[in-house]
């Protein structure tokens, strides 16, 4: 129990208490188990005081001197500790739920601080919702800490040990977490916007649905981290390895991807237009059908990448690209150079893809109905004001597919032209088929007959139209280019 004389002096007010402490420097006050609920102890000299298991629920301790105080098991829930000096205090098993601690609170990084508290169950639960805004906790050991929903905005946690800590939904906005150990930490739903996580170890961390907008993740270790539905807008990832991560639900738009390691990722059909990927490692990345208009690939590594139908233009920067070989089709097909023992010479990659800037390939797996295709080209010319749009080359593949390569302006939206071209072609095919059916119906009425094999007759019509395929074969065999479509 508390020393009655000491408690009676404290009840006379802080001024009286502080004067008594000044006059009796050798006495270590005993306030064990004292009921000080809601007490006004602002700027009180409680250094060296035994407050073990004291009830300080919602007490005002702002500016108080609690150096080396024994607060073991004390109830500090809701207490105002702003500006308090807690150097050397024993807070093991103390309750700090919703306690207020600001940057003026003196916290010794070597102090047992929250390690014993967290691990002995005192605030393993009760730190939830604690306010530690802008506190200096650099180097603190908070492994396995339960800090779900805690207000840690602006906190200095540089070099802190937070592996396996539960920081889900915590407010870590602008927190300093450089070099922090956060492996296996639960950061799901946490607010990490503007946080400094440079060089932090986030391997196997759960970052699902976390807000990392404007955060600095430069050189961070994200090995096997969960980035599902993460907001990475304007995040700095320079030098960061994203290898082996699931990026299927990660928005890559507006991210600083300079120097990032994306090797082995499937970025098929992603929109990377205007992105800065300079110096990025894109080894064996699937870039099939990506939008890369105005994208900066300067000094990037593209060895083993697949660039099938990627959409680039004259604004796409390709200078300095490092590429030993590349694939023109998915599943590592059509390697360039074809000889597996050869590599591309410096600058040869740019020459190889130069044509892609000014051409669009339309692929037809079952031949071409020229009666439908030619008016499609004419309509595309009008639709996109592409007066220079023309057939550059015709090619029949070994699998029977037919490729029509179109010349377009280097500034054209090739992806849009390609999709619209296929759409128009299908529409015209349906129109032609409807015309065939109408003609057959007319013949039946005119001659009073019933044609039992209409489908075969329609197929014959199609065969006739696609037999103009000979035109394509002839054009391909003679390598005809600039096959202009005219009225």
One digit per residue, pLDDT tens: the chain, 487 residues? Answer: 889 999 999 999 999 999 999 999 999 999 999 999 999 999 999 999 999 999 999 999 998 999 889 988 889 888 888 888 887 777 766 777 777 765 445 444 333 444 333 343 333 333 444 445 455 566 766 777 778 888 788 888 888 889 998 999 999 999 999 999 999 999 999 999 999 999 999 999 999 999 999 999 999 999 889 988 887 778 888 888 777 777 777 777 667 788 888 999 999 999 898 889 999 999 999 999 898 888 999 999 999 999 988 888 878 999 999 999 999 989 999 899 999 999 999 889 998 887 656 677 888 877 788 788 888 888 888 876 655 677 877 777 777 778 888 888 766 777 788 888 889 999 998 888 888 778 777 766 766 766 666 565 555 555 545 544 444 443 433 333 343 333 3
Distance, C-alpha 72 to centroid of its chain: 43
Write down the architecture of domain 1-97+104-113 according to CATH: 3 Solenoid (2.160)
Domain coordinates in residue numbering, the chain: 1-97+104-113, 360-477
CA–CA gap between residue 34 and residue 6 (Å, rounded): 10
End-to-end CA distance of the chain: 105
Count of Cβ atoms closer than 10 Å to residue 395 Cβ = 16
pLDDT of residue 486: 33
Spell out a b/e string for 91-126, using b for 16 or more CB atoms within 10 Å of the CB, else e: bbbbbbbbbbbbeebbbbeebebbbbbbbeebbbeb
Residue with tokens 């057959």: 440
């Amino acid at each position: 129990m508390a020393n009655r004389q000491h408690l009676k002096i404290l009840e006379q007010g802080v001024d009286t208490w502080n004067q008594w402490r000044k006059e009796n420097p050798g006495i270590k006050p005993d306030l064990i188990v004292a009921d000080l609920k809601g007490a006004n102890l602002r700027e009180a000299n409680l250094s060296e005081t035994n407050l073990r298991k004291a009830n300080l629920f919602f007490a005002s301790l702002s500016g108080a001197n609690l150096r080396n105080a024994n607060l073991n098991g004390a109830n500090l829930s809701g207490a105002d500790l702003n500006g308090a000096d807690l150097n050397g205090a024993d807070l093991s098993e103390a309750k700090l739920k919703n306690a207020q601690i600001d940057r003026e609170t003196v916290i010794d990084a070597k102090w047992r601080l929250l390690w014993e508290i967290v691990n002995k169950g005192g605030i393993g639960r009760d730190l939830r919702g604690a306010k530690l805004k802008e506190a200096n906790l650099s180097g603190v050991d908070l492994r396995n800490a339960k800090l779900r929903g805690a207000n840690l905005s602006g906190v200095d946690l540089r070099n802190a040990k937070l592996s396996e800590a539960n920081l889900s939904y915590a407010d870590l906005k602008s927190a300093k977490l450089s070099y922090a150990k956060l492996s296996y930490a639960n950061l799901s739903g946490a607010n990490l916007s503007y946080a400094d996580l440079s060089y932090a170890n986030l391997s196997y961390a759960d970052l699902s649905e976390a807000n990392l907008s404007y955060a600095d993740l430069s050189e961070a270790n994200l090995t096997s981290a969960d980035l599902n539905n993460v907001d990475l807008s304007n995040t700095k990832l320079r030098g960061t390895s994203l290898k082996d991560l699931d990026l299927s639900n990660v928005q890559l738009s507006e991210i600083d991807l300079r120097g990032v390691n994306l090797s082995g990722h499937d970025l098929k059909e992603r929109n990377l237009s205007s992105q800065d990927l300079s110096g990025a490692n894109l080894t064996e990345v699937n870039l099939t059908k990506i939008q890369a208009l105005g994208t900066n690939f300067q000094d990037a590594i593209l060895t083993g990448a697949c660039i099938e139908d990627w959409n680039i233009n004259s604004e796409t920067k390709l200078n300095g690209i490092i590429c030993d070989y590349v694939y023109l089709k998915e599943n590592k097909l059509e390697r360039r150079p074809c000889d597996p023992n050869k590599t591309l010479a410096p600058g040869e990659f740019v020459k190889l893809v130069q044509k892609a800037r000014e051409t669009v390939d339309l692929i037809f797996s079952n031949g071409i109905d020229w009666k439908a295709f030619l008016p499609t080209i004419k309509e595309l010319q009008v639709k996109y004001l592409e007066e220079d749009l023309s057939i550059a080359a015709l090619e029949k593949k070994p699998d029977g597919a037919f490729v029509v390569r179109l010349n377009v302006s280097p500034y054209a939206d090739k992806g849009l032209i390609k999709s619209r071209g296929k759409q128009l072609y299908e529409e015209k095919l349906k129109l032609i088929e409807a015309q065939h059916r109408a003609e057959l119906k007319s013949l039946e009425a005119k001659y009073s007959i019933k044609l039992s094999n209409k489908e075969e007759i329609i197929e014959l019509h199609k065969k006739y139209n696609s037999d103009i395929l000979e035109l394509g074969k002839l054009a391909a065999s003679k390598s005809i280019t600039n096959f202009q479509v005219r009225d």
